[in-house]
Amino acid sequence: MTRYPTEFPDFGLTAEQRRHAVRGHYYEWPGMDGERGEIWCYSNRFSYRAGEMVTLHVSSTAPS
């Protein structure tokens, strides 16, 4: 059985920001982080069984 942590890393969030990050609906879009650049990666499903193939979709805000 997998044991999950009871504590989460401290990313410097306030209690309000942490509550919103955990319980709120937060939609992201490329370019939210300004000029720093971003890498986006997602799969077409939320979970997989052991041994199943995962297809990753990756993009970035870097100029091509």
Q: What pLDDT digit, counting tens, does each position of 6-58 carry?
A: 676 777 888 888 888 777 766 666 666 667 778 888 998 989 999 999 999 99
In a domain, 12, yes or no: no
Of 2-6, 41-45, 60-64, the range with the lowest mean pLDDT is 2-6
In a domain, 19, yes or no: no
55 lies in which domain range?
33-64
When divided into structural domains, the chain yields a total of 1
In a domain, 24, yes or no: no
Residue 1, token pair as written in the block: 């059985």
In a domain, 43, yes or no: yes
Residues contacting residue 11 through CB under 8 Å, at least 6 positions apart: none
In a domain, 15, yes or no: no
- Give pLDDT, residue 29: 67
Own/partner pairs, 9-15, CB within 8 angstroms, 24+ separation: none
- Give pLDDT, residue 50: 95
In a domain, 54, yes or no: yes
